[in-house]
Amino acid sequence: MNNLEHINCPICEGDETELLFNKHSLSVVACKQCRLRYVNPRVSRHTLEENYVETYYPPEKVKRIHTDTMEWLQMAERLAELEAQLPSKGHLLDVGCGIGTFLHLAQENGWQPYGIDPSRSGIAFAQEIHQLDVRCGDIFDANFPTAHFDAITAYHVLEHISELNPFLAEIRRILKPPGDEKKAGKLVIEVPNGGSLQSRLQKADWPYVHPQDHLYYFSARSLPKLLRKHGFHHITLGRPRRVSPKIGLRFALRQAATAMLVRFHLGTVIRVYAS
């Protein structure tokens, strides 16, 4: 595969790894020091960014997402847990805002929403349909003011970010600092759980393993390590809930099973709150 680049571990910056498995001609390795799982070597940043800008939200995908009841329920679940974490509403930035569903709900709930996403078609939809203040590009292009945001969310974004450390340093800069805990800004990150029960059982066949664009497979241990590296010390794990438009016995049982897995950090995703 062309346009590959070799990297050191973004957490401990070491280069001693062990091979876990190969998929689609790419290798997923584990750092021997901090145990972060990541793709190495990986598709170059330039190639990834081109794909996100041009092809990530084709018209049929936009229509499917916008009309999907499950999508709206999932976004409402995320917003409800975020609001339980903060004493008041304020400036909210959604990084990787896509077509703006989450920000639209947040705006209706009293937040001052802002968004950024590399996809031209996603941003166009968010601007035209939801009338949102969103920008096309990356977080560095936006040049947001220092200590400006009360909350910054990044749902299923971090695993796509080539340069993790500059990205999190910029997040730290534009988030309100942790002086008074009641006024501190809150960062929310949700990623696929590389330490989940499903991941451990399925390994390379786990549905979230697509190493062309999922560059890291964080766990409930490795993600807090990365955040502490960037000055985030108040770190808690969220409890993402299973949602469904149909409520019944089968759903209740599956919801209870999901809650148990999440409690022991074995759920399909990890959600972290940090300040």
Map out the domains of the chain with their CATH numbers. 48-274 (3.40.50.150)
**Phi, psi dihedral angles at 19 (to 5 degrees):** -75, 130
Considering only CA atoms, which of 149, 152, 148, 114 is closest in space to residue 130? 114
Q: What is the 3-state secondary structure (H, E, C) of 139-165?
A: HHHHCCCCCCECEEEEECCHHHCCCHH
What is the H or E stretch that residue 108 is in? helix 101-108
The edge-to-edge listing of strands for the beta sheet with 186-192 is 134-136, 112-117, 91-95, 151-155, 186-192, 269-274, 235-237
Instruction: Identify any residues that bridge with 95 across adjacent strands, giving them in sequence order.
Output: 116
Contact (CB, 8 A) for 120 and 136: yes
Can you give the pLDDT of all 275 residues of the chain as single tens digits?
668 999 999 999 999 999 999 999 999 999 999 999 999 999 998 888 777 777 788 888 989 999 999 999 999 999 999 999 998 999 999 999 999 999 999 999 999 999 999 999 999 999 999 999 999 999 999 999 999 999 999 999 999 999 999 999 999 999 999 876 667 899 999 999 999 999 999 999 999 999 999 999 999 999 999 999 999 989 999 999 999 998 899 999 999 999 999 999 999 999 999 99
